[in-house]
A and B are shown apart, each in its own frame.
Chain A
Amino acid sequence: GENVEQHPSTLSVQEGDSAVIKCTYSDSASNYFPWYKQELGKGPQLIIDIRSNVGEKKDQRIAVTLNKTAKHFSLHITETQPEDSAVYFCAAPKGGSQGNLIFGKGTKLSVKP
């Protein structure tokens, strides 16, 4: 079945630096790749997503890149700020667009002021 691997599990950066989180997936039918941010005491919140017909998508300081051939996708955060500190999850649908989302194990990002 679908498997999503996420690296690193923890990431510490200085404020203003960039952060990159990488995921790989196994199901070739996956065509939608969202990223979620979870702050303490809250549910995950969708921050950006990309569909399989697009290689890159940007939204202000965050961007996602997708390499369908290699089954990789990555989250890039530039000019990090302390409020970016949270746990980030990547996900991919199992078996196509009507499948449930399979989540990576998460990356705890700490941004030091």
Chain B
Amino acid sequence: KAGVTQTPRYLIKTRGQQVTLSCSPISGHRSVSWYQQTPGQGLQFLFEYFSETQRNKGNFPGRFSGRQFSNSRSEMNVSTLELGDSALYLCASSLWQAEGGYTFGSGTRLTVV
């Protein structure tokens, strides 16, 4: 069965721009979570969507937002990009919740210049 697909794999953006990242979960998985991974801070939770509703939210500014569609696909958006937003953005899907394990995608590497 297909894994979690994230697009694009790489992105280079300029400060002040906005970006949209996409995630297609494993078929049948209804929960999609987003994480930011950086060398200094590790894996930090952004938000989780379940059945098109945001169920959990991390401690990121309002510039970071997301949504989930009826087919469970999810997008995250970062507006007014800052240099510090450069990171690997990982999407993880699960059937219902974290228990049972996440399946991660390979991530989108965002570089802000």
Contacts and interface: CB of A to CB of B under 8 A. Distances in A.
Interface of A: 31-32, 34, 36, 41-46, 49, 51, 89, 93-94, 97-106
Given A98-B55, A100-B33, A31 B99 contact: yes
Interface size class of B (residues with CB under 8 A): 20 to 34
Contacts, number: 59
Nearest to A104: B42
B47 to A, nearest CB: 8
Given A34-B98, A43-B92, 13 more contacts: A31-B99, A43-B4, A43-B107, A44-B43, A44-B90, A45-B104, A98-B55, A98-B56, A98-B98, A101-B45, A101-B102, A102-B45, A106-B42
Given A43-B106, A46-B101, A100 B42 contact: no
Contacts of B101: 34, 46, 49
B97 A97 contact: yes
A102 B45 CA distance: 7
Contact of B104 (A41, A44, A49): A44
**Counting chain A CB atoms within 10 Å of each CB, which of B33, B55, B92, B98 scores highest?**
B98
